[in-house]
Amino acid sequence: MSEHYITPASPAGRPYRAGYRTPAGNGECGLTPREHHVLALVAEGLTNYQIARRLDVSPRTIEKHLEHILEKLNVPSRTAAVAHHAAADPGHDRAGSAAGEGKR
């Protein structure tokens, strides 16, 4: 199974799975674009169910995205993830502009 992992290790000490962005890869704590979008929607106050409906996926998919986000940011809760992300990227707008949805 080691061929499915890349280095460096995640903040939680486990290696990243293939396809994950590393912190050095994008400078944004290793989150994928989809994870950034989910986190922005969490920051808006949406529930997992509401996020799932908006993104046309199952609530379980959102739960998995949030598990990955919490692991990558090494935080215990969605609230801590939002606070960590806001502190790391204070100029980043909420979900609308992050996903290109707020443009007219």
Residue extents of the structural domains in the chain: 30-98
Domain 30-98 CATH (choose: 3.10.450.50, 3.40.50.720, 1.10.10.10, 3.40.50.1370): 1.10.10.10
33-90: per-residue pLDDT in tens? Answer: 999 999 999 999 999 999 999 999 999 999 999 999 999 999 999 999 999 988 877 6
Alpha-carbon distance values, 65 to 1, 3, 7, 60, 104 (Å): 22, 23, 20, 9, 28
pTM of the model: 0.62
Closest CA to 67 of 5, 20, 1, 24: 20
Task: Report pLDDT digits (tens) over 44-53.
Answer: 999 999 999 9
